[in-house]
Chain A
């Protein structure tokens, strides 16, 4: 995990975290960690030490409490990753429907191996089933579902990302 400068949680994020805390008993602060990290990662693309420290300070928790959450859950990136996260499901149902070829096609198209990241793309090494088995093969791009994938569909999805401003 990298550490750069001190991070101040922006007010729009801190007010959202405060609102989230209202869902829990008043003495419970830890339940907001996951949500806070989601918000910060959404803004900063990946979680750095200063983010962990800032969340801990804001919630009045130990840094290790926040760090263990950031490191345990697979959606939290603690290394720099590209702008768009692509997760191709390769679990059983998708594998039976050709997800390995889909992943290979994507690797070749983006000129990267699964797990790698460029400035623009992060081809995540997704091990979990993403619960769209009846639309296999499938992938998520920035957590949006794309199902019944074909090479043509992948071309058009990547073209869409390439052409965006």
Chain B
């Protein structure tokens, strides 16, 4: 559904370029759009690896999984002079609540991802690349990617001595089995190695010591699928879109109370208002109350602030949140914010891997206190306790899941404290029974997560 906007750019230019075709995920469709030309050119000319890495740095591409770190810089951390085996890993464990952009790339434009993975492998000197899909993708999404990979192999675009060069790259599909934490890059490495997904201490960073102890680069699906056009059309083309520090295009998953929820690939810096229009505006003509602009791990932003904000890293940071994965969750005026944070807290409590005490215990405390408040049994002391927990988690854990659980709770209390207070003031006749309370944490959760 590529359509012109403001005569300046097409939406769905890179990662969703095939969406307008009848058969979007086919090899033929991708090739008819000039697909694999960039990879073939690299194979013909065998440019210096540093040249490609520099182009990616110059393009301003930042990791699209959530952290927003410069992709080219990440690649440059690989020691090219070392003879060590190097790996590329594509993080297709899309599971940040609100995010469904990568699933559409895997389903509808898998060849862009494959070509991006090949170029990235070449640039970092990896001869083996893995694409790790979340377990729940095991049916149609995984099949779409596997079929595309088969076609790419059949057309001899990868494998041994590709196009009679010295370049050998094997790309393997992998499937997970359900665990949000595996989206954290070092937990993903543990999972690929066949262990439970416990994040690792950093340093050493994966670029130094990653998969099977070897230098490894882990990139998100959207990041890698953007690479072919960035290299093909040049870094200047890409950075001519977006803003100075937020270059190029980004896929946003707009969900919640909108008329036309969907994935939209637009230049960074596009006003939030425009994105909301693309998503068909507010459902039932209701007023915008709040937006979670980057997946459930980021702070919530009041609607009136969001309406003045642009969709780029700096603008969203200024409005007190993060661009994250680009999952934009829209909430209308009737939304019960205590219910929303209750659901978010339940999620992090379930998904904490249990390795670090502040996160394992803290996510449970936060959920239990919010649950108590939501059920009308909360006191002002409970709210104070709830306010104090995020500070005890943030910065005290190996990975970012603890912060991801803490930030939304903090922000919901900051912006919507009155709604928490309303629950605390509920008249006594509305109090529910004890059996309505959440079950207490027991060790079984930590041991088995069942």
Q: Which residues of A contact B (CB under 8 A)?
A: 23-25, 28-35, 37-38, 65, 68-69, 71-76, 78-79, 87, 90-93, 95-97, 127-136, 140, 142-145
A129 contacts B97, C-beta separation under 8 Å: yes
| Cα-based distance from A65 to B347 in the complex (angstroms) | 27
B177 contacts A34, C-beta separation under 8 Å: yes
Of B97, B176, B178, B339, the residue contacting A93 (CB under 8 A) is: B97
Of B136, B140, B261, the residue contacting A75 (CB under 8 A) is: B136
Closest partner residue, chain B, to A31 (CB atom): B194
| Cα-based distance from A157 to B340 in the complex (angstroms) | 28
Of B103, B256, B296, B346, the residue contacting A131 (CB under 8 A) is: B103
A131 contacts B212, C-beta separation under 8 Å: no
| Given A92-B292, A131-B100, A33:B331 Cβ within 8 A | no
A34 contacts B191, C-beta separation under 8 Å: yes
> What are the residues of chain A within 8 A of B327 when measuring CB–CB?
133
Number of interface residues of B (CB under 8 A): 61
B76, CB-defined interface residue at 8 Å: no
Which interface residue of A68, A74, A90 has the most chain B CB atoms within 10 A? Answer: A74
| Given A38-B177, A92-B343, A95-B343, A131:B99 Cβ within 8 A | yes
B271, CB-defined interface residue at 8 Å: no
| Cα-based distance from A29 to B195 in the complex (angstroms) | 11
A23 contacts B135, C-beta separation under 8 Å: no
A68 contacts B256, C-beta separation under 8 Å: no
| Cα-based distance from A33 to B257 in the complex (angstroms) | 41
B449 contacts A71, C-beta separation under 8 Å: yes
| Cα-based distance from A89 to B94 in the complex (angstroms) | 15
| Given A96-B257, A129-B95, A133-B253, A72:B175 Cβ within 8 A | no
B311, CB-defined interface residue at 8 Å: no
A128 contacts B95, C-beta separation under 8 Å: yes
Tell me the residues in window 333-367 of chain B with beta carbons closer than 8 Å to chain A beta carbons. 335, 339-340, 343-344, 346-347, 350-351
* The 7 nearest A-B residue pairs measured at CB: A30-B194, A73-B177, A72-B196, A75-B178, A74-B178, A127-B350, A93-B255
| Cα-based distance from A104 to B43 in the complex (angstroms) | 56
Of B95, B136, B340, the residue contacting A92 (CB under 8 A) is: B340
B138, CB-defined interface residue at 8 Å: yes
**Distance (whole angstroms) from the CB of A73 to the closest CB of chain B:** 4
**Distance (whole angstroms) from the CB of A2 to the closest CB of chain B:** 14
B195 contacts A145, C-beta separation under 8 Å: no
> What are the residues of chain B within 8 A of A87 when measuring CB–CB?
136
B100 contacts A95, C-beta separation under 8 Å: no
| Given A25-B212, A95-B340, A128-B347, A38:B100 Cβ within 8 A | no
**Distance (whole angstroms) from the CB of A60 to the closest CB of chain B:** 12
Given contacts A69-B177, A72-B179, A142-B139, 20 further A-B contacts (CB under 8 A): A23-B130, A23-B172, A30-B194, A31-B193, A38-B177, A71-B447, A71-B448, A73-B178, A75-B136, A91-B97, A91-B343, A96-B256, A130-B136, A131-B100, A133-B97, A133-B98, A133-B261, A133-B329, A134-B262, A135-B261
What are 26 A-B contacts with C-beta separation under 8 Å? A24-B212, A33-B194, A69-B194, A73-B178, A74-B177, A74-B178, A74-B179, A75-B136, A75-B177, A76-B178, A87-B136, A91-B347, A92-B292, A92-B343, A93-B256, A96-B331, A127-B347, A128-B347, A129-B95, A129-B99, A130-B136, A132-B100, A132-B103, A134-B255, A140-B136, A145-B139
B350 contacts A93, C-beta separation under 8 Å: no
| Cα-based distance from A18 to B176 in the complex (angstroms) | 18
**Distance (whole angstroms) from the CB of A142 to the closest CB of chain B:** 8
> What are the residues of chain A within 8 A of B257 when measuring CB–CB?
96-97
B192, CB-defined interface residue at 8 Å: yes
